[in-house]
Structure 1
Amino acid sequence: MTVSDIMRHEVVTASPETPVHEVATTMRDENVGSVVVVEGDEPVGLITDRDIAIRIAADQLDAEEMDAERMMSTDPVTVEADTGLFELSTQLCNEGVRRMPVVDEDGDLAGIVTLDDLAVLLTGELGNLAGVIDAESPPY
């Protein structure tokens, strides 16, 4: 199984010039916790709901005066769609991130994968394993 099997193909994106208040509104309306900032089809940054809360509220900045480029984490850690899930989990851990834009062989945005996506898959798989164990175990 690879990243392409669990990634979300529809990604909420913004351009570097998008005002942060529009990014936050989009996050709310789309019910997502992050927006990938793209130039053309290439991911160049990532903005999370936490970034907005911490940087805007804590520093008392004006969201209407900030654009995505000033808010985003630059050089986002990406993963290729054909990466295996074990490698994905290792990369998430090593990089200390919860979300990764998925890129194709040209480096263009193909989707996004999150720690939550991986956790849902693994929880389902663990449930299947528990069912096997339960079926093979004697009654108590």
Structure 2
Amino acid sequence: MNIEGAMHRGVDWASADTPVSEIARMMKTDDIGAVPVGKDDRLVGMITDRDIVLRVVAEGRDPHKVTAGDAMTPGIVYCRTHQSVEDAIHLMEQKQIRRLPVLDARKRMVGMLSLGDISHAVSRNLAGEAIHAVADHHA
């Protein structure tokens, strides 16, 4: 199965200058744990609920003043619509990440692929292997 058939569509992204407090509200409203971050119409990173906790809350920083660009994980790991779900699983395993933005042939974000999406798209064995590899304990 290709990624386009497994991903979920309708993904929003936030500007790099969006306050973290607004990102947290987006996460709560949409029941999500990660928001892609863009600057000048390009994806530049991803901000996760973990980023907010570790880089803002734990450091006592003001979430109304800290921006997505300040708290995000820089760089973007993504997959393409035409790739196979197995390709995405290998990338997730390699990079130890649970969500991938999905880009089309024009390099435009058209969706997001999560471990949950994968669990519905592939065999139970393959999904279990992916979850085990990505969720492996940190040493």
Q: Same fold (TM over 0.5)?
A: yes
Q: Percent identity?
A: 30
May I ask how many residue pairs the two structures share in their alignment? 125
Quote the residue 2:75 is aligned against: 75
Report SS of the residue matched to 2:82: coil
Quote the residue 1:57 is aligned against: 57
Q: Unpaired runs of 5+ in structure 1?
A: 128-140
Cα deviation digits, residues 11-62 of structure 1 (max 9, x gap): 1311011111001011101111111112354321101111111211211111
Aligned 8 A contact 1:41 1:108 in 2: no
Cα deviation digits, residues 65-121 of structure 1 (max 9, x gap): 101111111111010011101111111101111111101122211111011211233
Structure 2: how far apart are the matches of 1:7 and 1:39? 23
Report SS of the residue matched to 2:55: helix
Structure 1: how far apart are the matches of 2:67 and 2:124? 42
Specify the structure having the higher radius of gyration (Cα). 1
Question: Higher helix proportion, which one?
Answer: 1
Quote the residue 1:19 is aligned against: 19
Structure 1: how far apart are the matches of 2:80 and 2:99? 13
Cα gap change, 1:41/1:110 in structure 2, threshold over 3 Å: closer, same or farther? farther
Q: Which sits farther off after the overlay, 74-83 or 31-40?
A: 31-40
Divergent runs of 4+, >3 A: none
Quote the residue 2:2 is aligned against: 2
What's the C-alpha RMSD, in Å, of the aligned pairs? 1.6
Q: Which sits farther off after the overlay, 101-110 or 16-25?
A: 101-110
Q: Unpaired runs of 5+ in structure 2?
A: 126-139
Structure 1: how far apart are the matches of 2:104 and 2:76? 15
